[in-house]
Protein backbone atom coordinates (compact mmCIF):
# COMPACT_ATOMS: atom_id res chain seq x y z
CA UNK A 1 0.00 0.00 0.00
CA UNK A 2 1.69 3.15 -1.15
CA UNK A 3 0.80 6.65 -0.24
CA UNK A 4 0.73 8.22 -3.65
CA UNK A 5 -0.48 11.62 -2.57
CA UNK A 6 2.55 13.66 -3.42
CA UNK A 7 4.01 11.46 -6.12
CA UNK A 8 0.83 11.38 -8.17
CA UNK A 9 0.48 15.09 -7.70
CA UNK A 10 4.01 15.48 -8.91
CA UNK A 11 3.30 13.69 -12.14
CA UNK A 12 -0.03 15.36 -12.79
CA UNK A 13 1.30 18.89 -12.47
CA UNK A 14 4.24 18.14 -14.72
CA UNK A 15 3.16 17.77 -18.33
CA UNK A 16 6.01 15.56 -19.34
CA UNK A 17 8.74 14.64 -16.95
CA UNK A 18 12.07 14.68 -18.65
CA UNK A 19 15.10 13.45 -16.77
CA UNK A 20 16.68 16.89 -16.89
CA UNK A 21 13.58 18.59 -15.53
CA UNK A 22 13.74 16.06 -12.70
CA UNK A 23 17.28 17.24 -11.95
CA UNK A 24 19.29 14.67 -13.89
CA UNK A 25 22.64 16.02 -15.10
CA UNK A 26 26.04 15.03 -16.42
CA UNK A 27 27.17 14.46 -12.84
CA UNK A 28 24.82 11.45 -12.64
CA UNK A 29 25.17 10.40 -16.28
CA UNK A 30 28.93 10.04 -15.81
CA UNK A 31 28.36 7.50 -13.05
CA UNK A 32 26.56 5.01 -15.27
CA UNK A 33 28.44 1.85 -16.24
CA UNK A 34 27.91 0.44 -19.74
CA UNK A 35 25.99 -2.56 -18.38
CA UNK A 36 23.57 -0.27 -16.55
CA UNK A 37 21.99 1.18 -19.69
CA UNK A 38 18.88 -0.99 -19.27
CA UNK A 39 17.99 0.28 -15.81
CA UNK A 40 15.47 3.06 -15.30
CA UNK A 41 16.46 6.17 -13.38
CA UNK A 42 14.33 7.34 -10.49
CA UNK A 43 14.36 10.19 -8.03
CA UNK A 44 13.35 9.25 -4.49
CA UNK A 45 10.17 11.09 -3.42
CA UNK A 46 9.46 9.61 0.00
CA UNK A 47 11.39 7.38 2.39
CA UNK A 48 9.44 5.23 4.82
CA UNK A 49 10.52 2.57 7.27
CA UNK A 50 10.03 -0.29 4.84
CA UNK A 51 9.43 1.27 1.44
CA UNK A 52 10.51 3.97 -0.98
CA UNK A 53 8.50 5.89 -3.53
CA UNK A 54 10.12 7.55 -6.48
CA UNK A 55 9.42 9.60 -9.57
CA UNK A 56 10.62 8.57 -13.00
CA UNK A 57 10.00 9.77 -16.53
CA UNK A 58 6.84 7.69 -16.65
CA UNK A 59 5.48 8.95 -13.34
CA UNK A 60 5.33 7.70 -9.75
CA UNK A 61 6.78 4.32 -8.83
CA UNK A 62 6.98 2.22 -5.69
CA UNK A 63 10.41 0.67 -5.49
CA UNK A 64 11.26 -2.71 -4.04
CA UNK A 65 14.35 -2.84 -1.88
CA UNK A 66 16.94 -5.55 -2.38
CA UNK A 67 17.53 -7.85 0.59
CA UNK A 68 19.89 -6.48 3.23
CA UNK A 69 19.17 -2.96 2.05
CA UNK A 70 17.66 -0.47 4.45
CA UNK A 71 15.52 2.58 3.62
CA UNK A 72 17.65 4.57 6.09
CA UNK A 73 20.41 4.58 3.49
CA UNK A 74 18.29 6.67 1.14
CA UNK A 75 17.39 10.34 1.20
CA UNK A 76 14.56 12.18 -0.50
CA UNK A 77 16.07 13.58 -3.69
CA UNK A 78 18.44 10.65 -4.27
CA UNK A 79 18.89 9.25 -7.77
CA UNK A 80 18.63 5.48 -8.02
CA UNK A 81 18.67 2.85 -10.74
CA UNK A 82 15.97 0.16 -10.81
CA UNK A 83 14.93 -2.80 -12.91
CA UNK A 84 12.22 -1.60 -15.33
CA UNK A 85 10.22 -4.85 -15.02
CA UNK A 86 10.36 -5.61 -11.32
CA UNK A 87 11.03 -2.09 -9.93
CA UNK A 88 13.72 -3.74 -7.84
CA UNK A 89 16.19 -1.09 -6.78
CA UNK A 90 19.64 -1.79 -8.18
CA UNK A 91 21.79 0.99 -6.71
CA UNK A 92 21.92 4.57 -5.57
CA UNK A 93 24.05 7.06 -7.49
CA UNK A 94 26.56 9.29 -5.71
CA UNK A 95 25.05 12.50 -4.40
CA UNK A 96 25.99 15.93 -5.65
CA UNK A 97 24.96 17.46 -2.34
CA UNK A 98 23.64 15.93 0.85
CA UNK A 99 22.00 17.66 3.76
CA UNK A 100 22.84 15.91 7.00
CA UNK A 101 21.57 17.12 10.29
CA UNK A 102 22.32 16.02 13.78
CA UNK A 103 19.60 16.11 16.39
CA UNK A 104 20.60 16.87 19.95
CA UNK A 105 21.42 13.65 21.79
CA UNK A 106 21.63 11.53 18.65
CA UNK A 107 24.87 10.09 17.30
CA UNK A 108 23.96 9.31 13.72
CA UNK A 109 23.18 12.21 11.40
CA UNK A 110 19.84 12.20 9.63
CA UNK A 111 19.66 12.51 5.88
CA UNK A 112 17.43 15.50 5.34
CA UNK A 113 17.70 15.47 1.56
CA UNK A 114 20.03 14.92 -1.37
CA UNK A 115 20.92 16.69 -4.60
CA UNK A 116 19.47 19.98 -3.37
CA UNK A 117 20.48 23.19 -5.16
CA UNK A 118 18.98 25.74 -2.80
CA UNK A 119 18.17 25.51 0.90
CA UNK A 120 15.31 27.76 1.94
CA UNK A 121 15.81 28.52 5.62
CA UNK A 122 12.38 29.56 6.84
CA UNK A 123 11.80 31.67 9.95
CA UNK A 124 8.94 33.84 11.13
CA UNK A 125 9.06 37.50 12.11
CA UNK A 126 8.24 36.61 15.71
CA UNK A 127 9.83 34.82 18.68
CA UNK A 128 11.07 32.10 16.31
CA UNK A 129 13.62 34.51 14.81
CA UNK A 130 17.01 33.67 16.30
CA UNK A 131 20.31 34.74 14.66
CA UNK A 132 22.33 31.97 16.34
CA UNK A 133 19.95 29.28 15.06
CA UNK A 134 19.87 30.81 11.58
CA UNK A 135 23.67 30.68 11.57
CA UNK A 136 23.51 26.95 12.31
CA UNK A 137 21.31 26.41 9.27
CA UNK A 138 23.62 28.58 7.17
CA UNK A 139 26.67 26.57 8.22
CA UNK A 140 24.78 23.41 7.35
CA UNK A 141 23.76 24.72 3.92
CA UNK A 142 27.29 25.94 3.12
CA UNK A 143 28.82 22.67 4.24
CA UNK A 144 26.36 20.67 2.13
CA UNK A 145 27.22 22.65 -0.99
CA UNK A 146 23.75 24.14 -1.33
CA UNK A 147 22.94 27.84 -1.72
CA UNK A 148 21.15 29.19 1.35
CA UNK A 149 18.29 31.66 1.05
CA UNK A 150 16.48 32.94 4.12
CA UNK A 151 12.70 33.24 3.93
CA UNK A 152 10.90 35.46 6.44
CA UNK A 153 7.25 34.58 7.03
CA UNK A 154 4.47 36.13 9.10
CA UNK A 155 5.51 39.68 8.29
CA UNK A 156 1.79 40.46 8.53
CA UNK A 157 1.97 39.84 12.28
CA UNK A 158 5.05 42.01 12.87
CA UNK A 159 5.14 45.81 12.77
CA UNK A 160 8.83 45.85 11.80
CA UNK A 161 9.54 43.12 9.24
CA UNK A 162 12.33 45.25 7.73
CA UNK A 163 14.27 45.03 10.99
CA UNK A 164 14.16 41.23 10.77
CA UNK A 165 15.26 41.38 7.16
CA UNK A 166 18.19 43.60 8.01
CA UNK A 167 19.29 41.33 10.84
CA UNK A 168 18.98 38.22 8.68
CA UNK A 169 20.95 39.77 5.81
CA UNK A 170 23.84 40.60 8.13
CA UNK A 171 24.40 36.94 8.98
CA UNK A 172 26.24 36.00 5.79
CA UNK A 173 27.74 37.96 2.92
CA UNK A 174 25.63 37.97 -0.22
CA UNK A 175 22.79 36.11 1.49
CA UNK A 176 19.40 36.59 -0.16
CA UNK A 177 16.60 37.27 2.33
CA UNK A 178 13.03 37.23 1.05
CA UNK A 179 9.96 38.38 2.97
CA UNK A 180 6.92 36.44 1.84
CA UNK A 181 3.51 35.15 2.88
CA UNK A 182 3.47 31.39 2.19
CA UNK A 183 -0.33 31.50 1.91
CA UNK A 184 -0.23 33.89 -1.02
CA UNK A 185 0.36 33.10 -4.68
CA UNK A 186 2.86 35.97 -4.77
CA UNK A 187 5.25 33.76 -2.80
CA UNK A 188 5.83 31.56 -5.86
CA UNK A 189 6.73 34.57 -8.01
CA UNK A 190 9.19 35.82 -5.38
CA UNK A 191 11.01 32.48 -5.47
CA UNK A 192 11.29 31.95 -9.23
CA UNK A 193 15.04 32.73 -9.28
CA UNK A 194 15.59 29.46 -7.40
CA UNK A 195 12.59 27.41 -8.53
CA UNK A 196 13.45 26.60 -12.10
CA UNK A 197 13.33 23.56 -14.35
CA UNK A 198 15.69 20.88 -13.07
CA UNK A 199 16.35 22.70 -9.80
CA UNK A 200 15.61 21.28 -6.37
CA UNK A 201 14.96 23.36 -3.27
CA UNK A 202 14.37 22.18 0.30
CA UNK A 203 12.59 23.90 3.16
CA UNK A 204 13.97 23.78 6.69
CA UNK A 205 13.08 25.65 9.86
CA UNK A 206 11.15 25.38 13.11
CA UNK A 207 7.71 23.87 13.35
CA UNK A 208 4.94 26.30 12.48
CA UNK A 209 6.89 28.76 10.33
CA UNK A 210 4.89 27.88 7.21
CA UNK A 211 7.02 25.35 5.29
CA UNK A 212 4.16 23.07 4.26
CA UNK A 213 1.94 26.06 3.54
CA UNK A 214 4.62 27.23 1.12
CA UNK A 215 4.91 23.77 -0.47
CA UNK A 216 1.17 23.81 -1.13
CA UNK A 217 1.44 27.24 -2.74
CA UNK A 218 4.50 26.36 -4.85
CA UNK A 219 3.08 23.02 -5.97
CA UNK A 220 -0.39 24.45 -6.52
CA UNK A 221 -1.84 21.54 -4.56
CA UNK A 222 -5.60 21.24 -4.29
CA UNK A 223 -6.90 21.01 -0.69
CA UNK A 224 -7.47 17.25 -0.78
CA UNK A 225 -3.93 16.60 -1.98
CA UNK A 226 -2.25 19.32 0.04
CA UNK A 227 0.40 18.80 2.66
CA UNK A 228 -1.21 19.02 6.07
CA UNK A 229 -0.55 22.31 7.84
CA UNK A 230 -1.08 23.15 11.49
CA UNK A 231 -1.92 26.14 13.59
CA UNK A 232 0.70 27.36 16.01
CA UNK A 233 0.03 27.36 19.76
CA UNK A 234 -1.50 30.58 21.05
CA UNK A 235 0.50 30.88 24.27
CA UNK A 236 4.06 30.55 22.97
CA UNK A 237 3.79 30.73 19.19
CA UNK A 238 5.38 27.29 18.74
CA UNK A 239 4.29 24.89 16.02
CA UNK A 240 2.76 21.48 16.60
CA UNK A 241 5.11 19.37 14.48
CA UNK A 242 2.45 18.75 11.87
CA UNK A 243 4.78 17.36 9.19
CA UNK A 244 6.47 14.12 10.23
CA UNK A 245 8.33 12.96 7.13
CA UNK A 246 10.19 14.40 4.16
CA UNK A 247 8.68 14.45 0.70
CA UNK A 248 9.42 15.71 -2.82
CA UNK A 249 6.85 17.76 -4.74
CA UNK A 250 6.73 19.22 -8.23
CA UNK A 251 6.64 23.03 -8.32
CA UNK A 252 3.94 24.23 -10.69
CA UNK A 253 6.29 26.68 -12.43
CA UNK A 254 9.20 24.22 -12.68
CA UNK A 255 11.61 22.57 -10.28
CA UNK A 256 11.09 20.46 -7.18
CA UNK A 257 10.59 21.22 -3.50
CA UNK A 258 11.33 19.03 -0.48
CA UNK A 259 9.18 19.55 2.62
CA UNK A 260 10.77 18.57 5.95
CA UNK A 261 9.49 18.24 9.52
CA UNK A 262 10.21 21.20 11.81
CA UNK A 263 13.18 20.72 14.09
CA UNK A 264 13.48 21.40 17.80
CA UNK A 265 17.23 21.76 17.74
CA UNK A 266 20.07 21.53 15.30
CA UNK A 267 23.60 20.49 16.18
CA UNK A 268 26.48 21.28 13.89
CA UNK A 269 29.29 18.82 13.35
CA UNK A 270 32.14 18.53 10.92
CA UNK A 271 31.20 21.83 9.30
CA UNK A 272 34.52 23.73 9.27
CA UNK A 273 34.08 24.81 5.66
CA UNK A 274 30.48 25.91 6.20
CA UNK A 275 31.54 27.97 9.21
CA UNK A 276 34.42 29.61 7.34
CA UNK A 277 32.00 30.81 4.68
CA UNK A 278 29.42 31.92 7.23
CA UNK A 279 31.91 33.97 9.26
CA UNK A 280 33.88 35.36 6.33
CA UNK A 281 34.83 38.53 8.23
CA UNK A 282 36.64 36.41 10.84
CA UNK A 283 38.04 33.93 8.32
CA UNK A 284 39.66 36.77 6.43
CA UNK A 285 41.30 38.27 9.50
CA UNK A 286 42.87 35.02 10.69
CA UNK A 287 45.80 35.02 8.21
CA UNK A 288 46.88 38.36 9.71
CA UNK A 289 47.27 36.94 13.22
CA UNK A 290 50.84 36.47 14.40
CA UNK A 291 50.34 32.78 15.17
CA UNK A 292 49.17 30.32 12.61
CA UNK A 293 47.10 28.48 15.19
CA UNK A 294 45.72 31.63 16.84
CA UNK A 295 42.48 30.99 18.74
CA UNK A 296 41.68 34.71 18.68
CA UNK A 297 41.16 34.58 22.44
CA UNK A 298 44.28 35.94 24.16
CA UNK A 299 47.26 35.69 21.80
CA UNK A 300 49.44 38.73 21.14
CA UNK A 301 49.30 40.06 17.59
CA UNK A 302 45.76 38.75 17.04
CA UNK A 303 44.09 40.51 14.11
CA UNK A 304 40.65 39.43 15.27
CA UNK A 305 41.09 40.93 18.73
CA UNK A 306 42.45 44.07 17.07
CA UNK A 307 39.32 44.37 14.90
CA UNK A 308 37.20 43.84 17.98
CA UNK A 309 38.98 46.67 19.79
CA UNK A 310 38.65 48.90 16.74
CA UNK A 311 34.91 48.21 16.65
CA UNK A 312 34.98 46.76 13.13
CA UNK A 313 34.01 43.27 14.27
CA UNK A 314 30.73 42.45 16.03
CA UNK A 315 31.63 40.85 19.40
CA UNK A 316 28.48 38.72 19.29
CA UNK A 317 29.56 37.25 15.97
CA UNK A 318 32.91 36.28 17.48
CA UNK A 319 31.19 34.64 20.44
CA UNK A 320 28.85 32.69 18.18
CA UNK A 321 31.72 31.78 15.81
CA UNK A 322 33.63 30.32 18.76
CA UNK A 323 30.69 28.34 20.04
CA UNK A 324 29.82 26.92 16.63
CA UNK A 325 33.45 26.13 15.75
CA UNK A 326 33.92 24.29 19.02
CA UNK A 327 30.73 22.36 18.58
CA UNK A 328 31.68 21.48 15.03
CA UNK A 329 35.18 20.28 15.88
CA UNK A 330 33.98 18.33 18.93
CA UNK A 331 32.57 15.82 16.51
CA UNK A 332 35.45 16.11 14.07
CA UNK A 333 38.87 16.41 15.71
CA UNK A 334 40.72 13.17 16.26
CA UNK A 335 41.05 12.34 19.96
CA UNK A 336 44.85 12.45 19.87
CA UNK A 337 44.98 15.83 18.16
CA UNK A 338 47.63 18.00 19.82
CA UNK A 339 44.97 20.67 20.18
CA UNK A 340 42.42 18.47 21.87
CA UNK A 341 38.84 19.18 21.05
CA UNK A 342 38.60 22.87 21.72
CA UNK A 343 40.34 23.75 18.47
CA UNK A 344 38.00 26.42 17.26
CA UNK A 345 39.07 27.46 13.80
CA UNK A 346 42.44 25.79 14.13
CA UNK A 347 42.30 23.83 10.94
CA UNK A 348 41.70 27.05 9.07
CA UNK A 349 45.16 27.12 7.53
CA UNK A 350 45.32 23.55 6.42
N1 LIG B 1 -0.35 35.07 9.64
C2 LIG B 1 0.41 34.24 8.95
N3 LIG B 1 0.27 32.92 9.12
C4 LIG B 1 1.05 32.10 8.41
C5 LIG B 1 2.04 32.59 7.52
N6 LIG B 1 2.70 31.52 6.98
C7 LIG B 1 2.15 30.42 7.53
N8 LIG B 1 1.14 30.76 8.39
C9 LIG B 1 0.33 29.83 9.20
O10 LIG B 1 1.19 29.15 10.12
C11 LIG B 1 0.65 27.87 10.44
C12 LIG B 1 1.73 26.80 10.36
O13 LIG B 1 2.04 26.56 9.00
P14 LIG B 1 2.66 25.16 8.49
O15 LIG B 1 2.81 25.32 7.02
O16 LIG B 1 1.90 24.00 8.98
O17 LIG B 1 4.08 25.18 9.20
P18 LIG B 1 5.29 24.13 9.02
O19 LIG B 1 6.53 24.94 8.97
O20 LIG B 1 5.03 23.21 7.90
O21 LIG B 1 5.23 23.35 10.43
P22 LIG B 1 5.69 21.81 10.77
O23 LIG B 1 5.13 20.90 9.73
O24 LIG B 1 5.11 21.58 12.11
O25 LIG B 1 7.19 21.83 10.79
C26 LIG B 1 -0.52 27.67 9.49
O27 LIG B 1 -1.71 27.93 10.22
C28 LIG B 1 -0.29 28.71 8.42
O29 LIG B 1 -1.48 29.14 7.79
C30 LIG B 1 2.17 34.01 7.36
O31 LIG B 1 2.99 34.55 6.61
N32 LIG B 1 1.33 34.79 8.10
MG1 LIG C 1 4.92 21.16 7.78
ZN1 LIG D 1 43.86 35.70 16.13
Q: What is the mean pLDDT of each run of 10 residues along the chain (350 residues)?
A: 46 67 97 96 94 92 90 95 96 95 72 95 95 96 96 95 97 98 96 96 95 95 79 73 89 95 84 96 97 94 97 97 92 47 35
Kind and range of the H or E element at 167?
A: helix 161-169
pLDDT given at position 113:
94
Closest C-alpha among 205, 248, 198, 253 to residue 227: 248
- Is residue 259 a contact partner of residue 249, using CB atoms and an 8 Å limit? yes
pLDDT given at position 50:
86
* CA–CA dist 39, 227 (Å, integer): 32
pLDDT given at position 229:
87
Evaluate: CB of 154 within 6 angstroms of ligand 1.
yes
Number of helices and strands in the chain (H, E): 10, 13
Instruction: Provide the CA 182 distance to its chain's centre, in angstroms.
Output: 18
In ligand 1, the atom with minimum distance to the C-alpha of 240 is: 24
In ligand 1, the atom with minimum distance to the C-alpha of 216 is: 15
Closest C-alpha among 62, 103, 78 to residue 241: 103
Closest C-alpha among 337, 193, 333 to residue 253: 193
pLDDT given at position 340:
37
Alpha-carbon dihedral 53, 221, 101, 69, rounded to 10 degrees? 0
Q: What is the whole-number distance in angstroms between the Cα of residue 250 and the centre of ligand 3?
A: 47
In ligand 1, the atom with minimum distance to the C-alpha of 228 is: 16
Give Rg (Cα) of the chain.
Answer: 22
pLDDT given at position 255:
96
Q: What is the whole-number distance in angstroms between the Cα of residue 134 and the centre of ligand 3?
A: 25
Evaluate: CB of 232 within 6 angstroms of ligand 1.
yes
Beta bridge partners of 59: 56
Closest C-alpha among 87, 89, 205 to residue 149: 205
Evaluate: CB of 152 within 6 angstroms of ligand 1.
no
Mutate to test the pocket of ligand 1, among 161, 203, 230, 233 (most ligand atoms within 8 A of CB): 230
Closest C-alpha among 210, 259, 264, 260 to residue 232: 210
pLDDT given at position 242:
85
- Is residue 63 a contact partner of residue 47, using CB atoms and an 8 Å limit? no
Residues, the chain: 350
Residue 198, classified by CB atoms within 10 Å of its CB into exposed (0-12), middle (13-18) or buried (19+), is middle
Residue 95, classified by CB atoms within 10 Å of its CB into exposed (0-12), middle (13-18) or buried (19+), is buried
Ligand closest to CA 210: 1
Stated pTM of the model: 0.89
* CA–CA dist 13, 102 (Å, integer): 34
Inter-CA distances, 248 with 47, 193, 346, Å: 10, 19, 38
* CA–CA dist 207, 231 (Å, integer): 10
Q: What is the whole-number distance in angstroms between the Cα of residue 231 and the centre of ligand 1?
A: 7
pLDDT given at position 341:
37
Evaluate: CB of 183 within 6 angstroms of ligand 1.
yes
Inter-CA distances, 299 with 17, 303, 304, 305, Å: 59, 10, 10, 9
Ligand closest to CA 179: 1
Beta bridge partners of 92: 80
Amino acid sequence: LFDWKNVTEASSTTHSITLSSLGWSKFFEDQLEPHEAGFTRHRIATVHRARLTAISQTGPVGLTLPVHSHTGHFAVGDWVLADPQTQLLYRRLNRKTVLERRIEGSKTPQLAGANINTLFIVTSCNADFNPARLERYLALANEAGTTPVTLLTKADTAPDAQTYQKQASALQRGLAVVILDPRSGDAAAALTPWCRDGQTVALVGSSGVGKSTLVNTLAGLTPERAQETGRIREHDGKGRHTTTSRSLHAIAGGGWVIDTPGMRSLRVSDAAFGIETLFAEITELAPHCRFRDCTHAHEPGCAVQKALAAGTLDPERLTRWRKLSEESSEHTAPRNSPFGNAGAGRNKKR
